[in-house]
Structure 1
């Protein structure tokens, strides 16, 4: 197993939303990547700019941040040529590592738009180094910028930020500082290509929580009628649990529930509904054991929502 640490730079319509091409909010103009072995030793690098084919003028922010000129990009190769070479360079057995989750989404959007084969595995599991940094050094929820993380770890800032290969090299330095054994279980799931069949659904168990990713359903009603999606199972002992508070929602997109395992205590369930890129809807469910205090927070959340509903009804 090798690790591909990836960073992308992209351009967008200089006219904003008014000039945005459907299916292409961001056009990739640079790929930077570093290949690591299992001991986090650098094996090789990939670095190339790409000739724009959709947005042929640089957005002023892109130009300001990257210090790139269109004249330089005009001499570059096409996205298709560069992307195909990039995946050949990646090889067959690798795990992607990125700072945040956006790069893989935009890479796959560009692959689709330019009709380039997506050779990455499905389901696509990867390492979000930004999240790993938070788990290891902070609260697991906050998200620092790459520069802030570099400063926190007192890594020497000997190259500029904001070019693809430079940001990739900083991400590599952060990985090399980490206690990899402590965080390597925390893989992230890319949602650009969610499961399409029941057999493809994901059920991942980590040290302190579990994550389930459902297949794509035609609509919300069908999804919320599925017993597996709504099930509450203890991820420690595998027991099916009776809910103390059934699934409820304040916005129709995020749902909470509370169940009780007779052996391991309260378990909070969180269900997030997401639109699939090519239509339909799927669910990402997390299950986490919580204390009495955590259980009470769910109870209070439901009471607050019920109170708001009553007040809204009375105001009509």
Structure 2
């Protein structure tokens, strides 16, 4: 058995109007432009590396924010290969007896979206391990999501390569894993996952199954207030019809770095949107994620809203 620590970077359309639709009816928000991976053997030892730039077919022009965050250039993409070829090479490199591992819950949904959009088999990506979960439970951080940078600092791993690079992120994730008991983590993962899902119902840490994910979007702002004040970014659009702009309303704080809100569409129901902030030089990186809201998510939001009302500390979007 091999374990594949995978990280992806993806491009996004310049506007909602330019966003393509998958056969399932969901929007195609991220076209993969880089695949980075580290292969571990059955003893969780590093045995090989993989990196491939993908030449985009649909979102050919790099979104300015993606270019800024990832530092990927047009030259990198021009030298890339088409996604079907890249995935074929990646799967061949992984081998038949292998399992994916990622840091967080964003990469596999995007991978599955790309496989679906290119009409490729995605069954092989159905089972995977979220290393954030194992890290959190083995370091006393519970199921709360922690960034890769946080984990590196926790284990005093020096950052000598640029983050938000698929290969570098996979490499540093492997370094973090060298400090974890992956044998125990993998062996008890089902129990860990049940615990995480129970926590998600109460706290919504963001670990929803990929089929409930509607969209992801990244931005960079000088402050949290500036992000909430950007009406286009802070708004939530109905992802089914692509027409209705649904106001995000009041944002409720989950933690110092996460805020959630509910958005409603009369035709298509309720969505939950989360903004996650990460302080960087000169401002804040913002990762906005939208899910189709379950009853548990709606109740979670209501509970946070009630606590906020009692404290009289709501964070409302500007404008």
Fold match, TM over 0.5?
A: yes
**Alpha-carbon deviation of 1:99?**
0.4
Superposed CA deviations along residues 87-113 of structure 1, whole A, max 9, x for unmatched, are 111111112110001111110110111
Alignment of 1:256-271 (within 5 A): none
From 136, 153, 156, the counterpart of 1:154: 156
**Following TM superposition, where does structure 1 have runs of at least 4 consecutive aligned residues deviating by more than 4 angstroms?**
204-214, 281-284
Alpha-carbon RMSD: 3.4
Alignment of 1:231-270 (within 5 A): none
In structure 1, what is the equivalent of residue 86 of structure 2? Answer: 82
Greater relative contact order structure (CA < 8 Å, 6+ sep): 2
**Alpha-carbon deviation of 1:206?**
5.6
Give the Cα separation in 2 of the matches to 1:89 and 1:127: 19
In structure 2, what is the equivalent of residue 248 of structure 1? Answer: none
Give the Cα separation in 1 of the matches to 2:41 and 2:295: 34
In structure 1, what is the equivalent of residue 39 of structure 2? Answer: 35
Give the Cα separation in 2 of the matches to 1:207 and 1:75: 39
Structure 2 stretches of 5 or more lacking a match?
22-26, 199-207, 212-263, 271-290, 297-302, 307-319
**Alpha-carbon distance change, 69 to 209 in structure 1, aligned in 2, over 3 angstroms:** closer
In structure 2, what is the equivalent of residue 227 of structure 1? Answer: none
**Alpha-carbon deviation of 1:207?**
10
SS in 1 for 2:75: helix
Give the Cα separation in 2 of the matches to 1:179 and 1:101: 20
Give the Cα separation in 1 of the matches to 2:193 and 2:107: 27
**Alpha-carbon distance change, 164 to 208 in structure 1, aligned in 2, over 3 angstroms:** closer
In structure 2, what is the equivalent of residue 105 of structure 1? Answer: 109
Structure 1 stretches of 5 or more lacking a match?
188-203, 217-250, 254-273, 276-280, 285-300, 305-316
The count of residues paired between Structure 1 and Structure 2 equals 211
Give the Cα separation in 2 of the matches to 1:182 and 1:89: 26
Give the Cα separation in 2 of the matches to 1:86 and 1:115: 17
Give the Cα separation in 2 of the matches to 1:211 and 1:66: 31
Give the Cα separation in 2 of the matches to 1:3 and 1:43: 10
TM-score, scaled to structure 2: 0.58
TM-score, scaled to structure 1: 0.59
From 98, 113, 118, the counterpart of 1:94: 98
